[in-house]
Structures are given as structure tokens and as C-alpha cells.
Structure 1
């Protein structure tokens, strides 16, 4: 009798060899030092496709700190459990890259939510195997997940909030002493922070949103970009934002003959639409440094500046070493962990107000187009509202962010410099949200203030399970943003571009 044939399933299980996080990071380091993929495959006895898969996820893997002593995932579980943890890790990395604090309870709540969504979205599965009740985000599960994924560097303990308050109080004193010792004035002190923007989302109850969700191939994460906004404490110097999108050359750029160097943002791209350390350093040297130097010179101010940052991974702790010599007048100061929501100026209503202004300008654009042309709102939204139009609206929203707003944002960190007098002849205006609602109703949309607040909250970005799936898919297919068929579709112009833009 000949030898028994191994089943295809058995063969696949035998060939599947788990790799530790440490080993993956070792491969990434060697690749970045110039070792070829084929040589890495031979050295580690893996296929080139396996090595490529690791390299595709290198930005995500590089920020993970492996738990000591944990080599591989050894316990077999259902595919729903595995998918939930993969999506949860994407969510965690997103939180870390934006500098947000996550605790055990927040992670467990998100894990339960993702698992429940996956159960509902998985047809034909056994209820005994995948019912919501079959998974509890317990302490045991959490401890094992930390070991499997190595997320120790991401998670804050349950006392993070109280620790953050103490750290914030101490930092305010440190900051005050530094400002006094170095004689900084508000014009010389800057803050920068990143935020995600779902630029093509309408409030959840509008018919455009409902129609989009039913459209074949609708990919919500492709409507996402990341912005880095920066201004000084006096509020009179706004720096050109860094914008990161999933596509280097969207089709709309070609059809509108856009020259990226002339945009009102520094345009960069990667499949995750994330601000990475490399991109942030580029922005500091190509945009921030020259703009601050010019501003200080034109205002006859001493050539020195302080840039206050949170400890997001994109903000390298060695950033000063990467700044060009001609900008060595820039000093970098980092907020302590867990203090970002308490102290960071851009988080003190600036980003939220910017997004409200963005929505107001977007609604106004929709209203003016539908009033002045023969386009319906749906036609404008589907056929004419593209990333080029979005960039113009971003610029209007950023230019519309007032000195009063930017200066007031320093009230917690540097209260002495916040002016109580009105800027720019400030007069009370109709709240922005009310304006958005009024414009929406003028276009026949079912929308109220709660819908707008909810949408602004989404912009601040709590990713849904579907959005996490899309983001994971983009991470696994890094070449997708370069392919023409994945770009924004080119459409026939019903009316002239000048009437739209």
C-alpha cells in the first residue's frame, strides 16, 4: 500500500508557518537596508509573496512593540474571531497614528462591536459557532490578544485619564518656564495636529447617503484623506496643510490639469492615507520651515520658533535631527502621553470648527450649483463633486478659520496669550451648524443639527467595521492606488467646469 495522500486542507495547514512580530520587523529592517526580496525569501525560507505581504504592511508593523516571550498564535479559533482581531488591530494602529489614547475598556467594547457586525454579515455560518453570545471581550481574551498582537505600546491603562490630568498640570508649568526662559511670544509658537476627513459623506439620513450605500462597489474608505493643520498661538499665521490621500494622481487631476505644486496643500499619497514620519519630515522642511522663516522675517521678529506636537508615531522623537540646517531655529516640544485631548490647541475646537466650515462650504456649493444649473443634487454629487472640488472647499474652510478661533485654542496650555478682545471686527453670527441645516433644507434634504453633529463626529473618526474592512483591503493591496481603474472615474461634463469650481 502506497503512502497516504495528504488532503489539500492538511497540506495547507502543514505549510502554514506563523511568524513572530520580531521576525517580521527584522525582515523589514533588512529590506530597508537594501536586501532584495528574493534574498530575504531564501534566508527565511519563505515565498517571495509572503515577504512582499510583510513589506506591504511595514508601516503598521513597525509601530508595534511585540510582547516578550510570545512567538506565534497557537490557538485555533473560528474565522470570525480571526477576522475580528485583524480588523481590531487595524483600528488600533489608526488610533495610534492619530495619537489617540485607547484603554482596555475601549478596546474590548470595539472588539465586541466588530465581532457582532461580522456575525451579522457572515451568511450561512453556524449560530453555535459565531453567535454574538459565543464571544465575550473578557479579561482573559484581552490579555491573550495583547500577547498575540504585541499592542503594549498602544494601550493605556485604566488610570490614563487621571494620569493625563497630572501630566497636563506638570507640563503647563514646564511650558510656561520654557516660554519665559526663551522669551517666546505667541507669534513664534506653533501647534500642528492631524485629522481624518471623509470628504464625500453626507449626513446619514439624506437620500444621497442611502443611495450611495446601495451602489455597487461603493468604497467609503476611498473617500477618506488625512490633513495636518498648523497655526501659531496668535492666530495670524496659518501654515499650508499637509494632505495625504490614497492616490498620487487622481483622475480628476488629469482632467482638470492640476499642478500639484500649486495646490494650497502639500499633496502626498499612500494607500492608507496616513501621515507617516517620512511625510511629516518632508512637510516640516518643505513647507513649515520656509513659511515660518518668511513670516518672522516679514514681521521683523527674532528668528526662532517653537513647534508643539503630540506623541503620535508620525512625529518622530528625533524630529529635530531631521530638520534642515537652515531651519535649526525651530525647537520641537512634545506633549506628554494622555494629555492631547486636554492640552493640544488644535484639539480645542479648531479641528471641529474647521470641519463644520468644510460642511458649510460643501452645502453652499451644492446649493449654488443646483440653483444656477440644470443639475440635480444627485447628478452633481455623483458626476462633478470630486477631489479637485474638495480641495477648493478645504482651502475655503481653512482660510475661514479665524484668528479668534486659533488664538482661543491655547486657553488651556497658555492662557496668558488668549485675547479677550474681538478679532477682525468680530460680530456674533448665526452658528455654522444652523447655516448647514438651513442650506440642507433649502435643497430638500432631511437634516437637522443632530445629523450634522453626528457627521462631524464621524469626521473626527470612529471607523465602522465596513470602513475597517476597506482600510485593511487597501493596506493589503498597496499597488491599488496606482492603477487607473481604481482612480475616480472620468465622466462627461454636463456643464462647464468653470460653473462648478
Structure 2
């Protein structure tokens, strides 16, 4: 029997079929392939997906002699594409020589033959430099909303239209330091460890919130030891806690596999941030980029959704501070606790808030056609009175000399950077091998994480006694009815966490002779 060699496209089709739930044996029979071939393709899926942006008509994935040079060149190409810069063969050769020199490859030969092979590997002519045309740069928010957006609303159901955006979060920030941080871009340095970048994505109806992506500074924070991230959160890291093109592409491909498994075709609208590159060969996602300088008007997440998340996050942070003050203790939140609070705050955003914010950005067919919009305050602006009272009490007990409004505390990190317009040196640094540092200070800059990591985990018995105290408080304050479900869930978790009891052997019941 003649050996059949699958192209990369055929292998990707095999992977997608298995992800959708098709059994390997059934797939092998359907396509007339040996089961070992199907299993081999599935086992090599990570490698195959990593080259999915290259020429999918090829049959084999042949590695490059200088993969770091090519990775740097591809990153540079994607950056050039987002800026609509013209790219020619001689310019590619020049940049390849530059990256090879910076990465200390003295034996790199940058010939036309190498360029042809590079173009074939990454399908440069039709893939990497394809995308939104330069005319999009001249379109304003209104033109985009009445043109391309209207087509999106016609082609896709509301539940299949998503918006993705990043925002910085000074997760440790306490109100007495708000005026120090207010308006800072925070591009690095001493404040970088106090911030994370968060990628939010939600659909137009508010019915689906794919996993949040949190980007921190430390690869393995101390507070993660023994803990667990919320189920709806992914974590990645780099030295500046920024979204990068590499992390963005990984995230989009993960979302693509998720939607493919649900047999959904969706569109994701996003801005032209430097990290938002074109991602090729997606099976279930279409990426649509907003016109430049229109995000303040045309991006739904910026119309109040992210603000609602930060309002809930910081309101709960204030509550925790007050409770710590009742015990004469200071409160400092570690990264793991912050991520759990962030996930909770994200889930608390009501679908009605999401819908109203999409409508405010004209993501509504009737609004686009008739000019009708929702009340800008409805759903997008939360009641601040309780938050103002909490903040005032915290500041008073801190002995603060300057007053701070809650909206300033909530929005303090709105201007902080979440991505970088990478220079060539930054690209080189991102692909160069990382040399591990022996300095203890580089292990983790998070002082609060060290304190949490060194605190022993309470025993089941200690936790049960604490729960009894809380239950008594709820009974005396008339809160038992609304908290009953929470108590039952905690009790069930405690019972499941009990150490297994040793099974008694039958011989132990026998009397000694």
C-alpha cells in the first residue's frame, strides 16, 4: 500500500475533528488512515499548531537552522503590518542580518535562497502582510460604526459578536496611595510589580464570558504555591506584565479551539494595540480591528464594562481593609487573592450592563440605522454612594490628610500601559535565551507573597471553628437565610477536605489470647 503523506492543513483538520469530539478510531476509518497516524498527529498537535500560520499546503514541518532569527523577523513583520509599513525583499534581508548580528549568529548566511525558503515557511506573500488596508486609518468612529460594524451585525448573531480589550490593574493599591499612582503610564520600574494586565472578552448579549487572561510579572509567584487559580482565569507572565504579540496569539488560538469545540463561528472586535497582531489559520474566529483612535467611542468594554469590574474589585478591597482594621491589623492583598477577587468582580457584571455598553458603542442594529442609543448612565454607571462612604471611613481610620473621591480610586490605573510599541531591541530580547539570575531579589519581588506563602494552611478543625463563629454572627444579625447556601457549600468543602480515616483491621477487634 502506497504511503499517504498528510499536508499540514489535513493534519490540522484531524486535530479539529478530535477537538470537536470525534473518536480517533472513527476518524481513522472515515479518512482511510492508520490509527497510529491519527494518534501521531494528535500527539504532535502543539508543534503543528505553532506553525499553523505558515504554509499549510506543506506536508512536513522542517525546522529552521536559525529559529530565533526567524521568530524575531516574524514579530517585526507583524509590527510593520499593524503600522501599514511597506515590506520588500531587500528590507527583509536587511532586518534578518540585523537580528542575526544581535543574536550572535556569525555563521548566518542571508541569501536570496534563504529568503525564498523563509517566505515559503511563513507564506509571507499572502499571509503575514495581509489584513486591514491603509484606508481604514482615515475612517472615524462614526464611519466605522455605520459601515463595517453594520455588516458585522448583519452577518453574525448578537451572541457571536465579541469584544476584547486589555486594562491594567494596580491590584495592591490602597486608597492612601492613590494620588501617587494617578495618571501614571507605569511602563516599568518600581511600580511594575504592583500591577497586572487583564484581557477581558465578552459577547454582545453578556451571555458568554470566555476565560480572563491575567498577565503578571512573576512566572511562578510565591503565593501560587499550594493555591489554585479560578477556573475562568488563565495566567501568563513577562518582566513588565504586558500583553505581547506572542501571548496574544497564544490566547486567540486557545479561544479558537474553544469555539471550534462548540461548533461556533464568532467575530472578535478589538483595537489596534501593538500586541494585537493578525493571527492566521483560525477556524472559528474572525478578528476585526477598530479604526485607529476610535476606541473611546467604538469599543464596548471601554463604555463602562471594565469600569464596573474595577468598581466591584475596589469596593471589596475596601471592605477587607475595614475588617482587618477591626482586628488592629493592616491589610495587603497578594496576587492569587487579587486574581480570585478579580474573577468574582468579572462574574458580577450583569448581562444588562454588557448589553447597554455594547449599545452605547452602536453595537445595535436599530441604533446604527436610526441613531437610537441607550441612556448612557443606564447599566454603565453604578451607584457610588456606598463606595464613597467605605472609602471615607478607610481614609479616616488611616489618618489620611488628603481626601480622595471613589471614582479617582477606581479609575487610577486607566492610563497605565498594557502593551508596548516594541523596538528592534525589545524583539531581540524576547527571542533570546533567558539567563537565569542567581540573585535572591530576582526570585520574586512580591514581599506580600512571601508573607502569605509562609503562613501555614489552617486545619479543617480550625476552619470549622471559624465557620461556627460566622454562623453565630449570621444568626444573631438575621443574615442566615441569605447565607444558608454559602454555609452549606463551605461545610461540604470542609467535609471533603478531611483527612482519610485509617481503616480498622478486623484483627484489632480480637481479644489477645
TM category (shorter chain) comes to 0.5 to 0.7
1:412 match: 361
CA distance in 2, matches of 1:175, 1:480: 47
Deviation of 1:480 after TM superposition, in Å, equals: 7.3
Is this contact kept in 2: 1:225–1:273, CA < 8 A? yes
1:84 match: none
Runs of 5+ unmatched residues, structure 2: 1-62, 88-135, 182-188, 368-372, 418-425, 468-489, 491-513
Q: Which consecutive aligned stretches of 4+ in structure 1 deviate over 6 angstroms post-superposition?
A: 58-62, 64-68, 417-421, 425-428, 475-478, 480-483, 497-501
Question: What does 1:127-276 align with in structure 2 at a 5 Å threshold?
Answer: 167-179=140-152, 181-182=154-155, 184-204=156-176, 219-254=190-225, 257-259=226-228, 263-276=231-244
> What secondary structure, in the 3-state scheme, does the structure 2 residue paired with 1:219 have?
helix
Runs of 5+ unmatched residues, structure 1: 1-31, 41-54, 69-159, 211-217, 298-302, 464-471
CA 1:447–1:480: 2 relative to 1, 3 Å: farther
CA distance in 2, matches of 1:435, 1:277: 42
Question: What does 1:46-85 align with in structure 2 at a 5 Å threshold?
Answer: 63=79
CA 1:248–1:434: 2 relative to 1, 3 Å: same
> What secondary structure, in the 3-state scheme, does the structure 1 residue paired with 2:235 have?
strand
Say yes or no: does 1:356 pair with 2:314: no
CA 1:227–1:494: 2 relative to 1, 3 Å: same
CA distance in 2, matches of 1:433, 1:305: 37
TM-score, normalization: structure 2? 0.51
Deviation of 1:204 after TM superposition, in Å, equals: 4.3
Say yes or no: does 1:394 pair with 2:342: yes
CA distance in 1, matches of 2:166, 2:217: 16
1:307 match: 268
Question: What does 1:399-478 align with in structure 2 at a 5 Å threshold?
Answer: 399-410=347-358, 411-416=360-365, 429-431=383-385, 433-434=387-388, 436-438=390-392, 440-441=394-395, 443-444=397-398, 446=400, 450-462=404-416
CA distance in 1, matches of 2:348, 2:401: 24
1:108 match: none
- Name the count of aligned residue pairs: 318
Q: CA RMSD in A?
A: 4.7
Deviation of 1:287 after TM superposition, in Å, equals: 3.9
CA distance in 2, matches of 1:232, 1:35: 41
CA distance in 1, matches of 2:281, 2:386: 40
Deviation of 1:61 after TM superposition, in Å, equals: 11
Deviations 1:406-450 (A, max 9, x none): 1112222324478969xxx99985556425425525754638874
CA 1:413–1:180: 2 relative to 1, 3 Å: closer
CA 1:258–1:484: 2 relative to 1, 3 Å: farther
CA 1:397–1:443: 2 relative to 1, 3 Å: farther
CA distance in 2, matches of 1:362, 1:269: 24
CA 1:439–1:167: 2 relative to 1, 3 Å: same
Q: Which has the larger radius of gyration?
A: 2
CA 1:176–1:309: 2 relative to 1, 3 Å: closer
CA 1:265–1:340: 2 relative to 1, 3 Å: same
Deviations 1:456-498 (A, max 9, x none): 34311347xxxxxxxx9xx899667996543134234399597
Deviation of 1:351 after TM superposition, in Å, equals: 1.7
Say yes or no: does 1:376 pair with 2:314: no
TM-score, normalization: structure 1? 0.52
CA 1:34–1:452: 2 relative to 1, 3 Å: farther
Is this contact kept in 2: 1:226–1:245, CA < 8 A? yes
